[in-house]
Structure formats: structure tokens, C-alpha cells
Structure 1
Amino acid sequence: MSTTVQLSTREISVFSEEYKKRRKQQMIRFFGATVFTLISARLAFRGVQSRKYVPNMFQLNHKPPLYSFQGEAISALAFGTGLATGSFGMLVFGSCWLADISSLAEFTIKARKLIGDPSAQEAAQQPMDQETQQVAKALQDLIESAKRQ
């Protein structure tokens, strides 16, 4: 006569303060990477625009300005690195925010579940004892009453 309550960890943790802080931290990381990418893109755009030769009224239009090859290479490397790092950071932090991953250990667990590792699924399949079932039922009732309000 034992009834098993299927209650996911996600349903329990949605209303906790720790969950809200965790999601806020993930959001801040993603938006930080986004700001870094936008600043890098703006600097790269300004760098390209400043190198553009625009002659005045009576100047020759085929005379390129003087420049340093080393300076050009260093600035191109800096702009490219900034854009690539920012874009990669946005990809990683955005994916982790969507998948609710905050650490490398959580990534490992999610990846094992995704590829179908039996050791990762065994932990979720274990039956609960009577006291744990009562606590889970009480939490589920609390969550459902909060959703109705």
C-alpha cells in the first residue's frame, strides 16, 4: 500500500532562495559575457573606422596613410581575441543558464544523463522510504497550493 510520489528536484527547488540566487548568478555571468562582447565589437568597429582614409577637398584619394605593420597586427589580434572570447563566453554561459548548470560537477551529471549512463539514472530510480515520501508529498502539496494562488 505504498504510493510513490514522483517529485522532481526542479519542482522542489524552484521556490527556494538558493535557486533564485543561483539563477541570478547564471544570468549575471551571461550578461557579463554579452557586455564584454558588445564592448569588443564596438572597439573593433572604431578601430576599422579610424583606419579608413577619407581625403579632404584637394587631397589625393589614392594616398594611404602611414601605419605600422606591428601595430596593425597587434590591434587585429586584440580585436579578434576579444570578439572570439566574448562570443564563446556567451555560448557557454547561455547554454549553462538554459540547462541550469552552475558547476563542472553538474555538467558531468547532466552529460551522463544525456548520453544514457546507467549509473546516473540509478540514483533517480531508487525507491523512497516512508518518511521521505511523506516529506515529498507535503512539498508537492505546498508547491501546488502556491501555483493556484
Structure 2
Amino acid sequence: MDDTRKYQLMAVAVSALSFVLSVRAARIAIRSRVYTPKLFDTNHCPPPTLYQLDPFHALSIASCASVSGFAFTASSICLLADIRSVKDLAKRFRAALSIPEPAENVQVDPETQEIENYLNSLLSSRSK
């Protein structure tokens, strides 16, 4: 097993673990917010809450769950499809969408070449 495959397996494992932990944290947070009245509690008073921290906690848990879920999905697909680099991923997307490969040595018309040379000379003179 080569190094890229090991790194892919580690990425899948770490993203799966973070996804499971964030979903578990969301479940614990939801269960802790359930209001169960006690025997002598008043029914007309709402339960005490922290109005500033609850939305922050909900947003942070949901953001962590969605990002880790996306990372888990993407890394699993790359592992299963044997995609080892970003270039390989781009080639697969181009092949799936039937987009032709970009040409390496394309002939440029003289006007464009002149503008490119002028811009290169400007940039090289500024860097000195």
C-alpha cells in the first residue's frame, strides 16, 4: 500500500470520526434542551434558557456536522474511485462531463502575444 492510499484512508477515518462526533454532539444538545416539567413546577412559566449561547451552539454544531459530512463523502468517493490527486479528479470530471482536455501548446495570434509580452515586461520592471 503506497503513501497516498494511506493518507486517503486516514482522511476517510478522521472525517468519519468527526462526522460521528458532531452528530452525537447535536443529539446530546437536542436531548438536553427538552423540557420535562417536574411535579411542582409551574406550567405557565417557560423553562430558563440562555438566549445568546443557544443559537451559537446550534450553529457551530450544525456547521461542524455539515463540513465533516461533506469531507467524509468527498474523501470516501475519492478512495472508492481510486482518485489520488486533484489532477486525476479534474481528468475524471472532464471525462464524465465530456469536456475536451485543454491544449498545451496553443498558437497565439500576434496581437495577444504582443500584449502578453508588454504585461510581462511591466511586471518584471515593477519587481526590480
Same fold, TM-score > 0.5, yes or no: yes
TM-score, normalising length: structure 2: 0.68
When the two chains are superposed, the root-mean-square deviation of aligned CA atoms in Å is 2.0
Q: Distance in 2 between matches of 1:119 and 1:77?
A: 41
TM-score, normalising length: structure 1: 0.60
Partner residue of 1:92 out of 62, 66, 74:
74
Contact kept in structure 2, 1:96 and 1:102, CA below 8 Å:
yes
Summarize deviations over 1:69-88 as a string: whole Å, max 9, x none: 22111011111101111111
Per mean C-alpha deviation after superposition, the further-off stretch among 34-43 and 54-63 is 54-63
Q: Distance in 2 between matches of 1:115 and 1:24?
A: 29
Unaligned segments of structure 2, at least 5 residues: 103-128
1:61 deviation in Å? 4.3
Q: Distance in 2 between matches of 1:104 and 1:28?
A: 17
Q: Distance in 1 between matches of 2:84 and 2:74?
A: 11
1:62 deviation in Å? 5.0
1:56 deviation in Å? 2.2
* Counterpart for residue 46 of structure 2: 64
* Counterpart for residue 107 of structure 1: 89
Q: Distance in 2 between matches of 1:86 and 1:109?
A: 25
1:112 deviation in Å? 2.4
Unaligned segments of structure 1, at least 5 residues: 1-16, 121-149
Percent identity of equivalent pairs: 26
Per mean C-alpha deviation after superposition, the further-off stretch among 30-39 and 67-76 is 67-76
Aligned length: 102
Q: Which has the higher contact order (CA 8 A, sep 6+)?
A: 1
* Counterpart for residue 38 of structure 1: 20
The structure with the greater share of residues assigned to helix is 1
Q: Distance in 2 between matches of 1:53 and 1:118?
A: 59
Contact kept in structure 2, 1:54 and 1:61, CA below 8 Å:
no
1:74 and 2:71 matched: no
Relative to structure 1, is the Cα distance of residues 52 and 62 closer, same or farther in structure 2, using a 3 angstrom cutoff? farther
Q: Distance in 2 between matches of 1:62 and 1:89?
A: 45
